[in-house]
Chain A
Amino acid sequence: MLDPYKIREDFPILKRKINGYPLIYFDNAATSQKPREVIEAVKDFYENHNANVHRAVHTLSQEASEMYENAHEEVAKLINADGFEEIVFVRGTTEAINLVAYAWGLRNLGRNDEVIVSLMEHHSNIVPWEIISRLNDFKIKYIEVNDDGTLNYESLENLLSKRTRIVCLSHVSNVTGVVNDIERVAKLAHEHGAFLLVDGAQSVPHLPVNVKKLDADFVAFSGHKMLGPTGIGVLYGKKDVLEKMEPFHGGGEMIREVSYEPSKRRCSIAWNVLPWKFEAGTPNVAGGVGLTAAVRYLKRIGMENVKAHEKALTKYALAQIQKSCKRVNIYGPTDPTAKCGIIPFGIEGLSSHDIALFLDNYGIMVRSGFHCAQPLHEIFKLNSSARASFYVYNTREEIDAFIGVLKEIERF
Chain B
Amino acid sequence: MANVDDYVARTEGTCGKEKDVIVTFKYEKKDEAFKKILDKATVKKSIAGIVFELSFKTFSFRLYASGKVIFRGLKDKDELNTLLSELLSVPRK
**Which residues of A line the B interface, CB within 8 A?**
19, 351-354, 357-358, 360-361, 368-372, 377, 383-384, 408-409, 411-412
Contacts and interface: CB of A to CB of B under 8 A. Distances in A.
A368 B70 CA distance: 13
B91 interface: no
Contacts of A352: 16
Contacts of B42: none
Interface string B44-84: 01011011010000000010111010101000000000000
Considering residues B15, B16, B20, B47, which has the most beta carbons from chain A within 10 angstroms of its beta carbon? Answer: B16
Contact of A353 (B20, B50, B65, B66): B20
Given A408-B48, A412-B51, A354 B62 contact: yes
B16 A351 contact: yes
Interface residue range, chain B: 20 to 34
* Nearest 4 A/B pairs, CB to CB: A384-B16, A369-B15, A383-B17, A369-B16
27 contacts: A19-B65, A19-B66, A352-B16, A353-B14, A353-B18, A353-B22, A353-B70, A357-B70, A358-B64, A360-B64, A360-B66, A361-B51, A361-B64, A361-B65, A361-B66, A368-B14, A368-B15, A368-B16, A369-B14, A372-B15, A377-B17, A383-B17, A384-B16, A408-B47, A408-B48, A408-B50, A412-B45
Given A358-B51, A412-B45, A412-B47, A383 B70 contact: no
A289 B15 CA distance: 33
B48 to A, nearest CB: 7
B47 A411 contact: yes
A371 B14 CA distance: 11
Contacts of B51: 354, 357-358, 361, 412
A19 B17 CA distance: 29
The B interface is mostly helix, strand or loop, or mixed, namely loop
B8 to A, nearest CB: 16
Contacts of B18: 351, 353, 383-384
A384 B72 CA distance: 14
A352 B66 CA distance: 17
Contacts of B64: 357-358, 360-361
A357 B68 contact: yes
Nearest to B53: A412
Contacts of A368: 14-16
A353 B61 CA distance: 12
Nearest to A20: B66
Nearest to B45: A412
Contacts of A361: 50-51, 64-66
Given A354-B70, A360-B68, A383-B16, 6 more contacts: A352-B16, A357-B51, A357-B64, A361-B66, A384-B18, A409-B47
B65 A370 contact: no
Considering residues A351, A353, A371, which has the most beta carbons from chain B within 10 angstroms of its beta carbon? Answer: A353
Nearest to B19: A383
Given A411-B47, A412-B51, A357 B17 contact: no
Contacts of B15: 368-372, 384
Considering residues A354, A371, A409, A411, which has the most beta carbons from chain B within 10 angstroms of its beta carbon? Answer: A354
Considering residues A361, A370, A371, A408, which has the most beta carbons from chain B within 10 angstroms of its beta carbon? Answer: A361
Nearest to A363: B66
Contact of B20 (A351, A370, A377, A412): A351
A408 B53 CA distance: 15
Interface string B1-34: 0000000000000111110101000000000000
A227 B14 CA distance: 26
A259 B83 CA distance: 63
Nearest to B20: A353
A358 B16 contact: no
Contacts of B53: 412
A409 B48 CA distance: 10
B64 to A, nearest CB: 5
A171 to B, nearest CB: 23
B75 to A, nearest CB: 18
Contacts of B14: 353, 368-369, 384
